[in-house]
Structure 1
Amino acid sequence: MSRRLLRAVCTAALATALVVSPATAAPAEPNPVPPPTGDSPQPEDAAEVDAETALAAPEAPEALGAPKGVATLLRELQTLYQEAEEATETYNATAEKLKQRTAEAKRVGGELATARAALELSRGDAGRLAREQYQGRTEFSAYLQLLLARDPLRALDQSHVVERVAAGRAATVERL
């Protein structure tokens, strides 16, 4: 606690001393360099003359960032506004194209899902037909079943069922 108190007192004293003490300004002009004597110029004097010449020659006000005229600023503002407007129009056009392409992608995705479902159904039907052929469940014609049946009346009743199954298989094969 005593360290904190000591720091606070020192900081307050330093701040008070800075505020109360008068500010001293730096000299406006550097001390003039004595002109060289005419005997022989020394290389150090040449460097000082170059530095003095550089300090004495003020730069152009435009290079220092002097304020531009109101008309120039207005032209720049108008140019920037036009560029921003063009960028906004480009953005809006791109957003509209994105909406259209997103809708088209959703539509095509729906069609693709429908096609995939139909393909899956067709694969199932093709697999079922292949299993039936592999297992030897081929159907004889109705006439042959009637001739080979022990009970011809029952064979006639089953012929209607066989015709329905055959029509279903024919439709499946046609669809594949």
Structure 2
Amino acid sequence: MTQDSNEPDELDLFRQATQGVKRITTNDRADVGKPRTDKKLVKTLQARATSSQQGIKVDGLSDQFVIDVHPEEELAWAANGVQESQLKKLKTGQIPFDGSIDLHGMTVERARELLWEFLAEAARMEIRCVRVTHGKAMRKDGRKPILKSHVNTWLRQHAQVLGFTSCVPRHGGTGSVYVLLKRTMLEGRDE
């Protein structure tokens, strides 16, 4: 095709159409929607993760085998040598508890750490009975209550625990347990 000299060429038409438009000055890279990786932040997080691994406490509480329990299941356990009458008093709330901890909404790791510290403090103070509130909510995936199951397992492993039972309704029912503890200074008085 030949072009008439009277008709403007395409370049002139383009210039006329874009007259007054400002050129955008940005980098020529496409926005892929993914932010760039902050390498310094990644290194810091890796270092923090590595250093926190070195500070893990060995508390003797194992999660290797956790006994799953139902939300409304009553818990009861006693170490060898604990009299049936003591467990019965514990179950009916006749042994007053002198300390309480609520583990609701915590991660398993955090609950474990706080429970260990709480029981250690109770033992130092020669407390005979404490209450541990673990909750009993059924999980969204239909599995058993995770904290209740872990607390049930941990308390059986703890050296200071003589026994535990679910609480009476006014103290939390099946969402809490009374925990009977050893007393070292008054050894032999927990019959």
> Could you say whether these structures have the same fold, taking a TM-score greater than 0.5 normalized by the shorter chain as the test?
no
Using the size of structure 2 for normalisation, the TM-score is 0.20
In our comparison, the structure showing a higher alpha carbon Rg is: 1
Q: Quick check: which one's strand share is greater?
A: 2
Q: Quick check: which one's helix share is greater?
A: 1
